[in-house]
Amino acid sequence: MSGSASLAQPQDFTVDAFHRGDFHLVQPRKGHRAGMDAMMLAAAVPSLFAGRIADLGAGAGAAGLAVISRCTSAKAVLVEREPEMADYARKSLALEQNARIARRAEVLEADVTLGGKARAAAGLADDSFDFAIMNPPFNERADRASPDEMRRAAHVMEDHLFDRWLKTASAIVRPRGGLALIARPQSLLAILAALEGRFGDAQIVPIHPRPDEPAIRIVLRAVQGSRAALSLMPALFVHDVDGRAFGAHADAISNGRATLFND
Amino acid sequence: MSGSASLAQPQDFTVDAFHRGDFHLVQPRKGHRAGMDAMMLAAAVPSLFAGRIADLGAGAGAAGLAVISRCTSAKAVLVEREPEMADYARKSLALEQNARIARRAEVLEADVTLGGKARAAAGLADDSFDFAIMNPPFNERADRASPDEMRRAAHVMEDHLFDRWLKTASAIVRPRGGLALIARPQSLLAILAALEGRFGDAQIVPIHPRPDEPAIRIVLRAVQGSRAALSLMPALFVHDVDGRAFGAHADAISNGRATLFND
């Protein structure tokens, strides 16, 4: 780990095993840490996928690395705007434990919301990917803000965010290429509106903590340029009723042993 | 059945028992016949509901009558544009078997898409209902039409339909009153867009034929004037895996013995 000198203290980061040790991730001890969301997102990519995939807003790279760990002919570009997080992604690729996958990944420091020539100049050329995955950031604090005005502002910001991110995804993914995203159910309208005219044949898998509780996430997969109608797929339950441990299917999915769309 | 003279032949209609005989419905033998959709829609209304409910596009009145059959203090207005269908609804109310509920129902021949003064003049005054339910018509043939141009036109028409129907629902339902609708999953964007600024706190129950198949319907419930975020609720499975008969829960719901939101 030659780059570790740029970190203030060794204990500022952790090295975590994912997919039962198939790959590892260097990530900050504090702040956003990769977990189930990234693994569920990665599990939306078919196991036979063999092309070039963009992990948009990759953070330390958990989702993108999970895809290429399972899809052994796929190549990932981990697109991250924050230099510190991009640095963690580079450190992940430098780990000895990731030698099997590191040659099929690269880190691109770029802003997903760039458009036009600036986007291409940043390394995100039109039609240059076969698939894009994204776990767009959301602001939980804004949801809890009680004044209507603030909530409305957060709402507008989120609409804008999905529109920009999906505009970029639609531009860089080739026709009939794939998209997968993970988000909160309350973002459905913003997401479906932003997909219009860009991606179709959307398939949504709701993710519920338990079979009798509302969904906490949706994973959506869609096809660039398709006009086919949306489908609402069977849900995934993270835990069985009353269970604390992951259910068997959720465990297999989060460990790269099964996929969300059974392909 | 004093009104039966207006029907060409006695055999043109049927009298069908619903909710295990709790109420009956006179409906045409051919064309759209009420069934599971109407019962699932009715099951979205809480059992303690005691106000005035509008069944928009009521047809022969199946959903509205199912609500007042279970909610014994509720009153229903069956709103139907087609004179022939409104006539079937009136015949249903005239049935001896419906004496228990008929006093709490009336038929209003009016077009749900009316706006402004014409809507009020037709009998749909602002803030005059506590709840509205709807099963808006959809054109299956348009979906199968292959030319992109036709599918796009059907899409635009559907957007327009949900916008008009939900505009009327929002106008006639009092603040904090309820809305329930049943529709196809592919209409989600049109529905969520049309709810914006009108109804909030939407709760969606996907309805799957079997646990391993995509949803064929969604039932959505929402609150007039609310700004609360959408929830994706646990799904309902009509049949168990491999089952031909209704599952126990679906059977209870379609017979007025249980509700879709457990209230």
- The pLDDT tens digits for B62-108 are 999 999 999 999 999 999 999 999 999 999 999 999 999 999 999 99
Structure tokens at A219: 């994973």
Percent of all residues in chain A with a pLDDT value above 90, rounded to a whole number: 80
- pLDDT of A213 reads 95
Average pLDDT, chain B: 91
Read off the pLDDT of residues A47-77 as tens digits, 9 standing for 90 and up: 999 999 999 999 999 999 999 999 999 999 9
Distance from the A185 Cα atom to the nearest Cα atom in chain B, whole angstroms: 6
Categorize the per-residue pLDDT at B244 as very low, low, confident or very high, splitting at 50, 70 and 90: confident
The more confidently predicted of residues A169 and A143 is A169
Residue B161 forms part of a structural domain: yes
Domain annotation covers residue A112? yes
Question: B161-205: per-residue pLDDT in tens?
Answer: 999 999 999 999 999 999 999 999 999 999 999 999 999 999 999
Q: Given the DSSP bridges, would you call strands B199-208 and B217-224 parallel, antiparallel or unpaired?
A: antiparallel
Neighbouring CB atoms inside 10 A of B208's CB total: 21
Q: What is the pLDDT of residues B106-149, one digit of tens each?
A: 999 999 999 999 999 999 999 999 999 999 987 665 555 556 77
Burial of A29: CB neighbours in 10 Å, binned 0-12, 13-18, 19+: exposed
Instruction: Say yes or no for a CB contact (<8 Å) between A235 and B235.
Output: yes
Residue type, B222: A
Cβ–Cβ below 8 Å for A230 and B151? no
The verdict on B218 touching A (C-beta cutoff 8 Å) is: yes
Summary count for chain A: helices (H), strands (E): 9, 11
Q: Which residues of A touch B185 (CB under 8 A)?
A: 229-232
- Per-residue confidence (pLDDT) for residue B90, from 0 to 100: 98
* pLDDT at residue B139 in the model: 66
Q: What residue in B sits closest to A187 (Cα-Cα)? A: B230
Q: Is residue A258 part of a domain?
A: no
Confidence class for position A149, pLDDT limits 50, 70, 90 = confident
pLDDT at B152: 72
Q: Is residue B207 part of a domain?
A: no
CA nearest to A197 within chain B: B152
The Cα B87–Cα B219 span in angstroms is 27
Distance between CA atoms of B240 and B218, rounded to whole angstroms? 18
Looking at residue B17, which CATH number applies to its domain? 3.40.50.150
Confidence band of B1 (pLDDT split at 50, 70, 90): very low
Cα–Cα distance list, B170 to A111, A179, A189, B137, B246 (Å):
41, 35, 19, 19, 34
Please report whether residue A60 resides in a domain.
yes
- As a whole number, the mean pLDDT across chain A is 91
List B212's β-bridge partners, or say none.
none
pLDDT in tens, A4-26: 445 555 569 999 999 999 999 99
Chain-centre distance for alpha carbon A181:
6
Q: And the tokens for B200?
A: 């909030």
pLDDT digits (tens, 9 = 90+) for A219-245: 999 999 999 999 999 999 999 877 777
Q: Cα-flanking dihedrals φ and ψ of residue B178, to 5°?
A: -110, 160
What's the CA gap between A67 and A201, in Å, rounded?
21
Nearest CB among A188, A212, A227 relative to B151 is that of: A227
Domain that holds residue B162: 2-180+188-194
Mean pLDDT of B210-238: 96
Report the residue from B148, B189, B218 with minimal CB separation from A227.
Answer: B148
CA distance, residue A168 to nearest chain B CA (Å): 21
Token code pair at residue A207 = 């993710």
Judge whether A239 is closer than 8 Å to chain B, CB to CB. no
Structural domain includes residue A51: yes
| Alpha helices (H) along A179-246 | 188-195
**Chain B interface includes A142 (CB < 8 A):** no
Element (H, E) at B91: helix B83-94
Tell me if chain A has a CB within 8 Å of the CB of B229: yes
To 5 degrees, how large is the angle CA A79–CA A84–CA A85? 40
Long-range contacts of A196-200 (CB under 8 A, 24+ apart): A196/B189, A198/A166, A198/A167, A198/A169, A198/A170, A198/A224, A198/A225, A199/A166, A199/A169, A199/A170, A199/A223, A199/A224, A199/A225, A199/A226, A200/A225, A200/A226, A200/A227, A200/A228, A200/A229
Split into its structural domains, chain A has a count of 1
Whole-prediction pTM value?
Answer: 0.91
Smallest CA–CA distance, residue A203 to chain B, in Å, is 9
SS3 readout for A77-135: EEEECCHHHHHHHHHHHHCHHHHHHHCCEEEEECCCCCCHHHHHHCCCCCCCEEEEEEC
Nearest in space to B92 (alpha carbons), one of B83, B81, B105: B105
Residue A1 placed within a domain: no
**Beta-carbon contacts of residue B233 (< 8 Å; ≥ 6 apart):** A214, A215, B203, B204, B205, B261
Count the residues in chain A: 263
* Shortest Cα–Cα distance, B233 to chain A (Å): 4
Residue B213 tokens, joined:
């198949």
Determine the 3-state secondary structure of B152 from DSSP: helix
pLDDT over 50 at B3, yes or no: no
pLDDT at A157: 82
Q: What is the pLDDT of residue B159?
A: 85
For residue B218, is it within any domain? Answer: no
